[in-house]
A and B are shown apart, each in its own frame.
Chain A
Amino acid sequence: MLTLLIPLLALPESFLISLWLDRYLRKIGMTVPDAHKKGKPPVARPGGPAIVIAVLTSIGILYLFTRSVDIISFGLCILIAFSVGLIDDLRALSGPVKVGLVVIAAVPLVLLHTYSPVMPFPFSFHIRLSTAYPFLVLVAIPITANAFNMIDVYNGLVSGFTAIATVPLLIDFVFTGQTIPAFLALAFLLANIGFYPLHRNPARLFPGDSGTLAMGAAYGALAIIGHAELVAVVALLPAVLNSFFVISSVGGLVEHRKMKKRPIIVDDDFKLVAARDADAPMTLTRMILADGPLTESQVTLRILCLECFSALLAVLTFALTGVKI
């Protein structure tokens, strides 16, 4: 019963560290302008340490009670992705280098063998990937990390998106009786909820690449450790589609700050407008703005609604695998 309370620590911890980081980062001048606001107010960055410290401390305490190797593997994965992100926050890395370094975050999952090469599939089929699976793990973590990184474009989006996307995983772990993955998912979910008040519009703290890469790697690791790969992919459909559309439009991994043509224009009223340029990258936001200009909050709300819909599809996918809910 006591162990059940440990993941709950992540919520107040994440919130309090976020509050402290907001003040501390402003004091030492680590801020970036919020490009979508009037006057471009400075916002503290990176806030990623708040989420990572909250998750790592709560799962660290959990490890003392359970001695589970899943926790070690999950913790190392987050820590490595976070470190790569922190380097990128302090000194910008190119897209391919960043992705290449995030591959290292997948290594603990492979070395500690915290995966099962058999994936449940709807209608009681099973996908067996015995020898290919470890290689897929090495590819999957950079993909999820990059997908979360690419969706971090508006206030409150990536933290809200991650929290919603984690719910189907938590449901999966609870109904399949996987206690440790359920605890890890709960700690991760609550750390994101604790971070959200400072990240939501108008944001006081941005997660930075240290936060988004850690979030993405953690999400991928949860799916792998808890054998919920398909549920995770379905829950991430808006982010996956966004990444696919961007990569296919610009022809590779390009940092959004280095894109030659902008997909979105900010008008004089600080509303977002879709670019009508044939060469501009096709992003999820650009598609949402196809009907006309919207405020940043309206765009964020629409993407989060789309994510809620994907989360429902993910729960449906899990239900179709034959587990009784």
Chain B
Amino acid sequence: MKVSAFSLLLVITTVSWLLLLLILYFVFVLIIPIQPPLRPSYVVAIEYVILKLILILIAVIAWLYSYFALRNAFASYKNLRKAPTSSS
């Protein structure tokens, strides 16, 4: 059974919504509040900042990649990137 393009777009919209909530939760609720132990040395404080930046970068790249993956999955499922055939 072939799923219609519109139904797939509804699924993509829902998945995008969930991904948006997930990335915001990861970045703002889990990663940014990470704090070093009390009275950290200068080096430890810098290490925590770098760690947070790396984690945020990984999360954002994964988030953007998920949209590419959704787009490409749709395109390949619906043959949008193939040369037209006589039946299309």
Contact = CB atoms under 8 A, between A and B. Distances in A.
B71 A245 contact: yes
Interface in B2-18: 4-6, 8-10, 12-14, 16-17
A165 to B, nearest CB: 13
Contacts of B24: 121, 127, 230
Main secondary structure of the interface of B (DSSP, over half): helix
Interface in A263-292: 274, 276-278, 282, 284, 286-291
A309 interface: yes
Contact of B74 (A248, A277, A287, A305): A287
Given A122-B21, A245-B71, A286 B16 contact: no
A288 B13 contact: no
B10 A290 contact: no
User: Among the interface residues B14, B79, B80, which one has the most CB atoms of the partner chain A within 10 A?
Assistant: B80
A2 B6 CA distance: 44
Nearest to A320: B21
B29 interface: yes
Interface in B34-88: 67-68, 71, 74-75, 78-84, 88
A20 to B, nearest CB: 38
Contact of A237 (B16, B28, B75): B16
A307 to B, nearest CB: 10
A306 interface: yes
A290 B78 contact: yes
A291 B9 contact: no
A230 B23 CA distance: 12
Interface string A236-249: 01101100110010
Given A237-B13, A248-B68, A287 B25 contact: no
Given A122-B21, A276-B82, A282 B6 contact: no
Interface residues of B, number: 30
Nearest to B82: A276
B79 A276 contact: yes
Contacts of A274: 80
A313 interface: yes
A278 B25 CA distance: 35
Given A127-B28, A276-B79, A244 B13 contact: no
A122 B6 CA distance: 28
A150 interface: no
A306 B12 CA distance: 11
Interface in A120-179: 121-122, 125, 127-128
Nearest to B12: A241
B20 A234 contact: yes
A251 to B, nearest CB: 13
A300 interface: no
Interface of A: 121-122, 125, 127-128, 230, 233-234, 237-238, 240-241, 244-245, 248, 274, 276-278, 282, 284, 286-291, 302, 305-306, 309-310, 313, 317
